[in-house]
Structure 1
């Protein structure tokens, strides 16, 4: 498990990011969005969780943030990110890496605008016991 985690840390960079505010309701992940834990360990009060996340064509993660940084790798497909201004903050294709900072000031959404499933390998570095993500409201973007 340590070897898998070290390999992941070396090859993975942080996942999708967008900032959200506003008073709208929270936005859950779209239908068919799934996650599978590959490896997990805890050291010094920090959870290191390697997870594969699949987002079907036309679906999204929902607006959210994380309590710790993320490091992601696009295994398949294209990830489109949007911030609280409803503008894209990056497009990441197969083979690309991405980093995502922690906290409620970095609310974001990841979308699969392609016609094939988007598959991400994500390393979550979270305070022990934290959820993978915290829901956040749509900042008023018309695409959600």
Structure 2
């Protein structure tokens, strides 16, 4: 008899939950416009570690004209880029071979890694870049060329 009561009680609870209306998100109110700036995919492991220190978040739109180059540089925090248009080539100090990234692809460059970004095509290339940097540090520091030109 006790077992039957548990089964009936369990069934009643499951039926109540199944028939209850689901809680929905509160709807937006007023004049609101959201614009997606970029969306890209990468399979590189990404982590943000601020360890309780003040951190500044920068988001920039970058356009490289034909044959343009960023010059060798580093960032004091990680860089996350999404290519929106065209093709950008990235060379790092650890891999001097340029890697091409096209529209819809994401690039991750860890803090302190010397790198150069270039457009080796005849069309402009555009990306949205996000940096998470220690507060009061510049976005970029120039670096000596880490690879031979070529």
TM-score clears 0.5: yes
Mapped partners of 1:116, 1:56: distance in 2: 7
Could you tell me which residue of structure 1 aligns to residue 127 of structure 2?
120
Residue 80 of structure 1 deviates from its aligned partner by 0.6
Larger radius of gyration: 2
CA deviation vs aligned residue, 1:87-120 (integer Å, no higher than 9, x gap): 32521001111111001xx101011001111111
Could you tell me which residue of structure 1 aligns to residue 138 of structure 2?
131
Q: Does 1:111 align with 2:133?
A: no
Count of equivalent residues: 108
Mapped partners of 1:13, 1:50: distance in 2: 17
Mapped partners of 1:86, 1:71: distance in 2: 18
* Alpha-carbon distance change, 51 to 12 in structure 1, aligned in 2, over 3 angstroms: farther
How do 1:81-96 residues align onto structure 2 when only pairs under 5 Å count? Answer: 81-84=90-93, 87-88=96-97, 90-96=99-105
- 1:65 is matched with which residue: 67, 74, 78? 74
Task: Give unmatched runs, 5+ long, in structure 1.
Answer: 15-42
Residue 85 of structure 1 deviates from its aligned partner by 6.1
Residue 140 of structure 1 deviates from its aligned partner by 4.8
Runs of 4 or more above 6 Å deviation: none
Task: Give unmatched runs, 5+ long, in structure 2.
Answer: 1-32, 43-51
Mapped partners of 1:46, 1:74: distance in 2: 24
2:39/2:104 contact within 8 Å kept: no
